[in-house]
A and B are shown apart, each in its own frame.
Chain A
Amino acid sequence: AQAASNSKRRKDWTKLIYSTDLTPEEVLSGKEEHPVEAEEMDGDEEDFFRLEPASRREEEEEVDSSKEKWRGEDLKRWEDDEILDSIRGLFITGPA
């Protein structure tokens, strides 16, 4: 779920959400921007961008889920004391 947080480049979220036809997952994964204007250019390119969701559909249906599905690695990192200590500042008991 946190795939995007490691991309250092600042995203133009407003533009990515409202002015591109990237899928939500592509917006988060930092895929190359594909402005709406470019869509009319040629059909081949559009097919290219449609490939991923199509292949996913063959595997299994994505469940419309409102609960956050944290990935195993997102949870496993909390086994490390240093990681646990890294968020102390977010609690009233932590450093200012």
Chain B
Amino acid sequence: MSNLVQFSGHQHLRLRLALSILSGKPVRIDKIRSEDKNPGLRDFEISLLRLLEKVTNGTVIEISVTGTAVLLKPGIIAGGPVTHDCPLSRSIGYFLEPVVLLAPFAKKPFQLTLRGITTDEHDLSVDLFRTVTLPHLQLFGISDGLELRIKKRGAPPGGGGEVQFLCPVVKQVKTLNFVDPGKIKRIRGVAHAVRVNPQFSNRMIEAARSVLNRYIPDIYLYSDVYKGDESGKSPGYALSLLAESTTSALHCAEAVSQPGVAPEDIALQASRALLSAIETGGCVDRQHQTLVLLMMALGSEDVGRCRMGEPTPRTIQFLRDVRTFFGTSFKIAAADDKESSHLLYSCYGTGYTNSNRTLA
């Protein structure tokens, strides 16, 4: 395996695995928590490897006896109907993040059912995947039949949620040219409360409005009600917010119930986080920098450009990893105005084509 890519440490695992599968280059990761009292891969990381095995065909995964090293030899991205039970140590968002990057390049359209926790503090909730992540994919021409259905909600620790992710396959992604962030024209949001007083949703909505109403009148915050079996196994509530600009730039934030914190304070956290996201964002939500930059790198052989805020630490490592796997580096320069800290990211697409796709 002359094209083997090697890393050390457990950080950035999911994106590195996705890059390996997309590039077709095997990856070996060692020293996974080798200094830890409890060394090796965690249950959710092993579960992710199993999920990647299920959605691909011919992938070989070897985990060392101590669990501190893993070798993945990628097969082809198969897609099709797959069901996976996510462990309760991480939310469905952890598993969806890498899968969303692979799905457009599958042989067959993804019909992926994931069960587990639908909203937690570490990863984007299924609500933000539906309302913000999927529109970011649409920027690249991935749209017809793209859908995330939230069948059941599942709050931590018990979970019990279920979503279905449907994604069309594309031959190639479009080159992005997105440099005008526009002005925020509307704010949308979803408040949900399961197995607690249903009034909590309305209390969050009221509190969020007390912050956001000063900016624009076009605010619609929806109280999403799930009952009985559809509301999962544990109590919890959350508020997910998104702001959309005149040029369809999206920014999002959310806050999740915490013990001893009133619903109003959760809503204020989410609202203020949204303002911070709007203030720094540019054309792309901070939490979606990696997705957008990857699709730009995979774009047709032309220069793609996008105006965004400063890279997050994750984005910086991801840019380095994209270069390692695809040899593509971005030019990152200050945007031409003095007011903002926005940066212009540009790169020459690799002209990645989906060779897995079944020819109809």
B-binding residues in A (CB < 8 A):
1-2, 4-5, 10, 13-14, 17-18, 23-25, 27-28, 57, 61-68, 70, 74-76, 78, 84, 87-88, 90-94
- Are A78 and B211 touching (Cβ within 8 A)? yes
Instruction: Say yes or no for B134: interface residue by CB 8 A criterion.
Output: no
Contacts of A61 in B (CB 8 A): 10, 33, 36
Contacts of B317 in A (CB 8 A): 24
Q: How large is the interface on B (under 10, 10 to 19, 20 to 34, 35 or more residues)?
A: 35 or more
- Partner of A25 from B97, B310, B313 at Cβ < 8 Å: B313
Contacts of B14 in A (CB 8 A): 64
- Are A24 and B313 touching (Cβ within 8 A)? yes
Which chain B residue shows the least CB distance to A74?
A: B276
- Partner of A75 from B11, B272, B287, B310 at Cβ < 8 Å: B272
Complexed CA–CA distance, A57 and B39 (Å)? 13
- Partner of B273 from A57, A62, A75, A87 at Cβ < 8 Å: A75
Contacts of B217 in A (CB 8 A): 93
| Cβ distance B283 to chain A, nearest Cβ, rounded Å | 13
A-binding residues in B (CB < 8 A):
10-14, 33, 35-36, 93-94, 97, 121-124, 183-185, 211, 214-217, 246, 253-254, 268-269, 271-273, 275-280, 286-287, 310-317, 319-320, 323, 329-334, 341, 343
- Are B276 and A66 touching (Cβ within 8 A)? no
Selected A-B contacts with CB under 8 Å, 9 pairs: A5-B341, A17-B319, A24-B315, A28-B316, A66-B123, A68-B312, A75-B273, A78-B271, A90-B278
Complexed CA–CA distance, A94 and B246 (Å)? 13
Among B185, B246, B273, B319, find the residue whose CB has the most chain A CB atoms closer than 10 A.
B273
- Are A14 and B331 touching (Cβ within 8 A)? yes
Contacts of B214 in A (CB 8 A): 84
- Partner of A66 from B216, B269, B314 at Cβ < 8 Å: B314
- Are B319 and A92 touching (Cβ within 8 A)? no
| Cβ distance A49 to chain B, nearest Cβ, rounded Å | 16
Which chain A residue shows the least CB distance to B290?
A: A66
Contacts of B323 in A (CB 8 A): 18
| Cβ distance A25 to chain B, nearest Cβ, rounded Å | 5
Contacts of A92 in B (CB 8 A): 183-185, 216, 246
**What 6 new A-B contacts, CB under 8 Å, besides A27-B316, A61-B36, A91-B184?**
A25-B313, A28-B310, A28-B316, A64-B13, A78-B271, A78-B276
Complexed CA–CA distance, A76 and B272 (Å)? 8
Asked whether A68 and B277 contact (CB < 8 A) given A28-B310, A62-B11, A91-B183, the answer is yes
- Are B341 and A91 touching (Cβ within 8 A)? no
Which chain A residue shows the least CB distance to B98?
A: A66
Complexed CA–CA distance, A21 and B343 (Å)? 21
- Partner of A17 from B13, B254, B287, B320 at Cβ < 8 Å: B320
| Cβ distance A12 to chain B, nearest Cβ, rounded Å | 9
Complexed CA–CA distance, A90 and B214 (Å)? 13
Asked whether A10 and B334 contact (CB < 8 A) given A90-B184, A91-B183, A91-B184, the answer is yes
Contacts of A84 in B (CB 8 A): 211, 214, 275
| Cβ distance B285 to chain A, nearest Cβ, rounded Å | 9
Contacts of A25 in B (CB 8 A): 313
Complexed CA–CA distance, A62 and B217 (Å)? 40
Contacts of A24 in B (CB 8 A): 311-317
- Are A75 and B276 touching (Cβ within 8 A)? yes
Complexed CA–CA distance, A64 and B341 (Å)? 26
- Partner of B122 from A2, A14, A67 at Cβ < 8 Å: A67
| Cβ distance B238 to chain A, nearest Cβ, rounded Å | 11
| Cβ distance B111 to chain A, nearest Cβ, rounded Å | 23
Asked whether A64 and B124 contact (CB < 8 A) given A17-B320, A87-B278, A91-B215, the answer is no
**Would you list the 5 A-B pairs with minimal beta carbon distance, nearest first?**
A24-B313, A24-B316, A13-B332, A78-B272, A75-B272
Which chain A residue shows the least CB distance to B93?
A: A66
| Cβ distance B213 to chain A, nearest Cβ, rounded Å | 11
- Are A17 and B279 touching (Cβ within 8 A)? no
